[in-house]
Amino acid sequence: VKVSELGEFGLIDRLAEMADSLRDNRFPSWRNLIIGIGDDAAAWRCEGGTQLATVDSLVQGVHFPSAVDSWADLGWKSLAVNLSDIAAMGGLPRYALVALSLPGDTEADSVIEMYRGMLELAQPFGVAVVGGNISAAPQITITITVLGDSPAEDGLLTRDAARPGDRIAVTGSLGGAAAGLRLLETNPPLDPLSAGALRRAFWRPNPRVAEGRLLVGAGIKAAIDISDGLAADLGHICEASRVGARIDTSLVPLAAVALAAFGAAALEMAVTGGEDYELLFTGGDAAIRAVHQKAACPVTIIGDITSARGVLLQDGNGRTIEYQKRGWQHFAAA
């Protein structure tokens, strides 16, 4: 069976099973492990707290167009997706290692510009780029590992902690990144201001690190960052938690730039598009209200966790909505 037939998540399940089958508590690594493969980041106990680690790759021609418009944007995004994973665990990002592979005829200035964009994001978060690797390859791949931590007394935000009766909430607004990607692919006539805002929505997501810490402080237990798409990532939470979900799509906070540029199509972008890197989380009304009051960004309740399995999308009148594609999956027969 080909990888494309098994699918990204099918393959990950098989590999995770193999890795976990070697668990051996005579070794400190296994003894201290809290979360292995399958969440936004791995987590293990250390003296004084919890260590977090995550890795993500951006591949030219797969995650971003072959003709790179802004190398600084590419650098920003390649780090942002990892900081977002640490945020989705409720941790603080600390260190980054950058593995680059690229063709020898790449301009050195382009790589330096990419680094500049990456460091522009790293600096205010206090993330130190402390290592990496450079290798020749036929196309550009940027793989970044981010290490973070969390104080011992704090809980982690995991995918498997959603419970029936929880409300489902989301930070910020959705659909901007998908609209930005549509712009890059189709280049519709737009005023420069809107075009710039859309491009930024795709290329320069803001990892919700402060918001992740707020969630932990408010007692929220279940969260994920929206990388594959609202419906798909909610599906990941439901599977890990063995619950279901019902979303009222009329409550989904749409990115203003997506709405202005693409009108009614913005809703599908918001629900299935992904790459907005907002936090999707579940919990009681009071906890969500506490987050809402303290967060600098909007926090919106969009549905409920149910005991019936599956993710149900309904419009404001309770009618079921079906989209052809629920989110991003590598190797999925598009």
Closest CB 211 distance from its own copies, rounded Å: 19
Q: Which is nearer to its own copies, 29 or 293 (CB)?
A: 29
26's CB contacts (< 8 A; 6+ apart) are none
Q: Which residues of 170-181 are buried (b: 16+ CB within 10 A; e: fewer)?
A: bbbbbbbbbbbb
Rg of the chain over Cα atoms, rounded to whole angstroms, equals 20
What are the phi and psi torsion angles at 22 (to 5°)?
-90, 0
| Site of tokens 């200035």 | 109
Closest CB 215 distance from its own copies, rounded Å: 21
Q: 102, 137 in Cβ contact below 8 A?
A: yes
Closest CB 93 distance from its own copies, rounded Å: 8
Closest CB 328 distance from its own copies, rounded Å: 11
| Residues linked to residue 146 through DSSP beta bridges, in sequence order | 54, 96
Q: Which is nearer to its own copies, 323 or 331 (CB)?
A: 331
Closest CB 61 distance from its own copies, rounded Å: 7
Region of 318 (left: φ > 0; alpha: ψ -120 to 50; beta: rest) is: left
Q: Which is nearer to its own copies, 119 or 251 (CB)?
A: 119
Closest CB 271 distance from its own copies, rounded Å: 23
Q: At what angle do helices 71-87 and 192-203 cross, to 10 degrees?
A: 50
CA dihedral 116, 269, 88, 311 (to 10 degrees): -160
Q: Which is nearer to its own copies, 127 or 238 (CB)?
A: 127
Q: Which is nearer to its own copies, 144 or 218 (CB)?
A: 144
Q: Which is nearer to its own copies, 109 or 322 (CB)?
A: 109
What are the phi and psi torsion angles at 25 (to 5°)?
-70, 0
Closest CB 109 distance from its own copies, rounded Å: 7
Q: Which is nearer to its own copies, 140 or 267 (CB)?
A: 140
Spatial separation of the C-alpha atoms in residues 37 and 27, rounded to whole Å: 18
Q: 302, 292 in Cβ contact below 8 A?
A: no
